[in-house]
A and B are shown apart, each in its own frame.
Chain A
Amino acid sequence: MNKTISTKSLQVGYGNKVVIDNVNIQGLKGQLICLLGPNGAGKSTILRTLTGLLKPVNGTVYIGNDNINTIKKNDLAKKMAVVLTEQLSLNMMTVFEVASMGRYPYTNFRGKLTDHDVHIIDNALASVHASHLRNRYFFNLSDGEKQKIMIARALVQAPELLVLDEPTSHLDVKHKVEVINILRNLCLEKGITVILSLHDIDIAIKGCQQILLLQNEKIVAQGTPEEIIKCGTIQDLYEIKGANYSELLGSIEFNNSTCAPEVFIFAGNGSGVGICRAVARAGYGIYCGILHKNDVDFHIGQALGCHIIAEESFENISEQKYNLALEKIKEVPFLIDTGFHVGSMNQLNIKLLEEAAKINKTIFSLSPYSDFQKRYGSFSNKIVPFKNIEAVIQKMTEMRNDA
Chain B
Amino acid sequence: MSMLTMASKCTNSENKKKIMRIMLILTLVFTTVFIFLLSVSVGSVKIGISDVVRVFLGLEVENDTYRSIILNIRLPRALSTILGGACLAISGLLLQIFFSNPIVEPYVLGISSGSTLFVGLVVLGGFTFGMKSTTPMFLFTGAFIGAMLVMLVVISATKKVRNITTLLIIGIMTGFICNAATSILTAFADKEQVHGFAMWSMGSFSGFSWAQTKFLYAIGLPLIIASFFLSKPLNALLFGDRYATTMGLSIKRFRIIVVFIASVLTAVITAFAGPISFIGLAVPHITRIMFKSTDNSVLIPGVVVGGALMTSMCDLIARMVLSPTELPLSAITSLIGAPIVLFLLLRKDAAM
Q: Which residues of A contact B (CB under 8 A)?
A: 51-53, 73-78, 80-82, 84, 86, 88-93, 97, 101-102, 104-105, 107, 109-111, 134-135, 157
Contacts known (A76-B248, A110-B232); A86 close to B297, Cβ less than 8 A: no
B297 touches A90 (CB 8 A): no
Q: Across the interface, do A110 and B238 meet the contact criterion of CB distance under 8 Å?
A: no
* Contact of A104 with B231 at beta-carbon distance under 8 Å, contacts A91-B349, A92-B351 already known: no
Q: Given known contacts A76-B248, A135-B13, A157-B247, is B242 in contact with A93 (CB within 8 Å)?
A: no
- Comparing B199-207, B268-276, B288-296, B305-313, the segment that makes contact with chain A is B288-296
| Bound-state Cα–Cα, A51 to B240, Å | 16
Residues of the A chain whose Cβ atoms lie less than 8 Å from the Cβ of B238:
90, 93
Separation in Å of the B235 CB from the closest CB of chain A?
7
Q: Is the CB of B240 within 8 A of A86?
A: yes
Please list 12 pairs of residues, one from A and one from B, whose beta carbons are closer than 8 Å in the complex, sorted by A's number. A53-B245, A53-B246, A73-B245, A80-B246, A86-B243, A88-B243, A92-B294, A101-B239, A105-B247, A109-B232, A110-B232, A111-B231
Given contacts A86-B240, A111-B235, contact A135 B10 (CB under 8 A): yes
- B239–A89 contact, CB under 8 A? no
In the bound complex, how far is the Cα of B293 from the Cα of A104, in angstroms?
A: 18
B119 in the interface, Cβ–Cβ < 8 Å? no
- Given A77-B246, A93-B295, 12 new contacts (CB under 8 A): A52-B245, A73-B245, A73-B249, A82-B243, A86-B240, A86-B242, A90-B238, A91-B352, A93-B238, A93-B293, A104-B247, A104-B249
Give 1 or 0 for each of B229-268: 1 = CB within 8 Å of chain A CB. 1011001101110110111111000000000000000000
Q: Is the CB of B246 within 8 A of A51?
A: yes
Q: In the complex, are the beta carbons of A91 and B235 less than 8 A apart?
A: no
State whether A84 and B293 are in contact (beta carbons under 8 Å apart), knowing that A92-B351, A104-B232 are contacts in the complex: no
Residue numbers in A under 8 Å from B351 (CB-CB): 91-92
Selected from B10, B229, B248, the residue in CB contact (under 8 A) with A134 is B10
Are A101's CB and B247's CB within 8 A?
A: yes
Interface of A is mostly: loop
Chain A residues near B235 (CB, 8 Å)? 101, 111
Give min CB distance, A104 to chain B, whole Å: 4
CB distance A82 to B352 under 8 Å? no
Please indicate the chain A residues that have their CB under 8 angstroms from the CB of B295 in the complex. Answer: 93, 97
Most buried by A among B248, B288, B293: B248
- A101 touching B236, Cβ below 8 Å: yes
CA of A93 to CA of B232, assembled, Å: 14
Q: Main SS of chain B's interface residues? A: loop
Residues in B whose Cβ lies below 8 Å from that of A86: 240, 242-243
A74→B249 CA distance, assembly (Å)? 7
A104 nearest CB neighbor, chain B only: B247
Establish whether residues B243 and A84, one from each chain, have CB atoms under 8 Å apart when the complex forms.
yes
Q: How far is the CA of A104 from the CA of B237 in the complex (A)?
A: 11
CB distance from A186 to the nearest CB of B (A): 17
Which residues of chain B are near A90, meaning CB under 8 Å? 238-239, 294
Closest chain-B Cβ to A134's Cβ sits at a distance in Å of 7
Residue of A nearest to B232 (CB): A111
Could you say which residues of chain B place their CB within 8 Å of the CB of A52? 245-246
Which residues of B from 282 to 341 have beta carbons under 8 Å from A? 288, 292-295, 297
B239 adjacent to A81 (CB under 8 Å): no
CA distance A379 to B196 in the complex (A): 112
Most buried by B among A86, A92, A110: A92
Least Cβ–Cβ distance between A159 and chain B, in angstroms: 10
Q: Which residue of A lies closest to B253 (CB)?
A: A73
Residues of B within 8 A of A93 (CB): 238, 293-295
Contacts of A74 in B (CB 8 A): 248
Residues of B within 8 A of A78 (CB): 248
Write the chain A residue with the least CB distance to B352. A91
- List of B residues within 8 angstroms of A73 by Cβ: 245, 248-250
A residues in contact with B352, CB < 8 Å: 89, 91
A116 to B20, CA, bound (A): 25
For residue A249, give the distance in angstroms from its CB to the closest CB of chain B: 38
Are the C-beta atoms of B294 and A91 separated by less than 8 Å? Answer: yes
Q: Which single residue of chain B is at the shortest CB-CB distance from A105?
A: B248
B242 and A84 within 8 A (CB): yes
Docked-complex contact B232 and A92, CB < 8 angstroms: no
Pick the 3 closest A-B CB pairs, nearest first. Answer: A77-B248, A111-B232, A105-B248
Q: Give the docked Cα–Cα distance between A231 and B242 (Å).
A: 39
Asked if B242 and A53 sit within 8 Å, CB to CB, the answer is yes
The interface residues of chain A lying within 8 Å CB-to-CB of B249 are: 73, 104
Chain B nearest CB from A331 CB (Å) reads: 60
Q: A135 to chain B: which residues have CB within 8 Å? A: 10, 13
Least distance between B246 CB and chain A CB atoms (Å)? 4
User: Closest chain A residue to B240 by CB distance?
Assistant: A86
**Most chain A beta carbons < 10 A, residue from B246, B293, B349:** B246
Q: Contacts of A91 on B, CB cut-off 8 Å?
A: 294, 349, 351-352
Question: Is A104 touching B297 in the complex (CB atoms < 8 A)?
Answer: no
**Could you say which residues of chain B place their CB within 8 Å of the CB of A110?**
229, 231-232, 297
B294 contacts which chain A residues (CB < 8 A)? 90-93
Whole-angstrom CA separation of A86 from B238 in the bound complex: 12
B238 closest partner in A (C-beta): A90
- In Å, the complex CA distance between A73 and B236 comes to 13
**Residues of A contacting B247 in the complex (Cβ-Cβ under 8 angstroms):** 77, 101-102, 104-105, 157
Which chain B positions have C-beta within 8 A of A76?
248
A104: chain B residues at CB < 8 Å are: 232, 236, 247-249
Quick one: given A90-B239, A91-B352, are A81 and B13 in contact (CB under 8 Å)?
A: no
Alpha-carbon gap, A52 to B245, bound state (A):
9
CB of B229 within 8 A of CB of A109, answer: yes
